[in-house]
Amino acid sequence: MRRTRNRHQNAEIEANLTPMIDVSFLLIVFFALVSGISNREQVAMSLPGVEAGATVRPDDDARWVLNVLPDAAGESAGYALNGAVYPADADGAVALAEALAAGYRANPRLEVNLRADRATHYRFVEPAMRAATTAARLAGGGALPRLNLVVDEARGEKGAQRDGA
């Protein structure tokens, strides 16, 4: 009896890593872009605290972040909105209202998140609030001013614990 040898060697199975590497790089690019967008909205400041349960987190789909830029001794260096900086004077407030009105025209359900340092005097926060309401009126079309005051929940809880609540 004659024995035959197997002329074909067993094929080895190898994983194709190219699609996984492609997806990994796409995720890296996505997160790099998203982190750049969210960092542009954040200005370093100490937000006021609030008691737990007194706030509601807004949806991210239709919101703009308006920062009252802090300066020394409770003054303001201006207002930042979508990467643009407006001076903290009457002309700056008018320009800010025009920019917000353009946002309200594009989306009448626009929500404005107002951020101000806890050391900033109210006389600099009030023009930003007034600009948001004026902008809704200028935009027309049934736009209602939706202004959210941004606070730090963790700081409020620490204050409540310190005060014995």
Domain ranges, ordered by start, for the chain: 18-165
Residue range 31-43, pLDDT digits in tens: 888 776 666 666 7
Tens-binned pLDDT, residue by residue, of the chain (165 aa): 566 666 667 778 888 889 999 999 999 999 888 776 666 666 777 777 766 655 555 555 578 889 999 888 888 889 999 888 999 899 999 999 999 999 888 888 888 889 988 888 889 899 999 998 899 888 887 778 888 888 776 665 554 444 444
Cβ atoms < 10 Å from Cβ of 68:
25
pLDDT value of residue 162: 47
pLDDT value of residue 144: 81
pTM strictly above 0.85: no
| Per-residue tokens: 101 | 């009105």
DSSP letters spanning 30-48 = HHHHHHHHHHHH-----PP
pLDDT value of residue 160: 46
pLDDT value of residue 41: 64
